[in-house]
Amino acid sequence: MSRIIGILNYKGGTGKTTTVVNLAAGLALNGARVLCVDLDAQGSMATHLGVDYTYSLSQLLLGQVRPQACVVQARENLDLVASDRSLLRAEGKLWRIGDEDVIRQTLRNKMRSLDGDYDYVILDFSPSVSLLSESGLLYIRELIVPVSVSYMGLVGLRQVVETLQTFRQVSESRVRLYLIVPTFYSAGVKQDREVMTILKRHFTDKVTGPIRENVRIAESPSYHQSIYEYSPNSTGAADYARLVERVLQDG
């Protein structure tokens, strides 16, 4: 049975897409079959991985092509359903259905013919609240929140936690807060250490080892590579490999 995991933070600049790419690529390198789904109209995942595609998530949601036609291979064991600006038009068309319950079920219903082929399905959420993101929350079972080690990062985390609590009260969602991944961490910065202490105090074993500030991580998207391809001996590769190992162990 597939593990269906979402990566979400309502604050930008937390390393959300970078975490999706490097978690997915690391799992694939370990032999797992992985499908990534980009729920963000910015389409950052296809750009990061250097993937060309014909059909995207918008065509999948609107039923314009078979779901399998929207899947492209990004790497060995790693497939992608990409997104782009057309997703905004698709969301508008879904809105005109007028039935919010139907819209919230759309992603889960469309993915049924795909997710059984994979060990992991990983969703890259948009940082904004929408019916599509609510549809994603109904579909996933586990949520990972990347948190930049700043006080504004904590605000974004609080928004996610509050959204989960509210969403579970008004829907049939079974999603649980799985992991919190501190990003852009520097042990020499007092604020970073303080934020890590706060995270561990409130979320204990849900907090993973931090992803340290690393220029190689920042450079890798411009070369359309994961951190393991671009700089396999960097601290960034080591940190994301540790996250991958945690997810594998929890499986």
What are the backbone dihedrals phi and psi of residue 177, each rounded to the nearest 5 degrees, phi first?
A: -70, 115
Helix (H, G, I), strand (E, B) or coil at 107: helix
Q: How far apart are CA 122 and CA 161, in angstroms?
A: 19
> Three-class SS of residue 179?
strand
CA-CA distances (angstroms) from residue 199 to 125, 148, 192, 245? 22, 11, 11, 21
The candidate with the shortest Cα–Cα distance to 151, out of 198, 186, 188, is 198
Nearest to 125 by CA among 112, 116, 115, 134: 134
Q: Which pLDDT does position 26 carry in this prediction?
A: 98
Give dist(CA 180, CA 158) in Å, integer: 12
- For the chain, list residues with pLDDT below 50: none
* CATH numbers and ranges of domains, the chain: 3-250 (3.40.50.300)
Tokens of 118: 């994979």
Please enumerate in sequence order all residues whose Cβ is within 8 A of that of 170, keeping only pairs 6 or more positions apart, or say none.
none
pLDDT value at residue 239: 98
pLDDT at 98: 66
Tokens for 90, please give them. 């698709």
Which residue type does 233 have? N
Distance separating alpha carbons of residues 51 and 82, to the nearest angstrom: 9
Tokens representing 155 are 């605000």
Run of H or E residues at 91: helix 86-95
Distance CA 19, CA 120 (A): 15
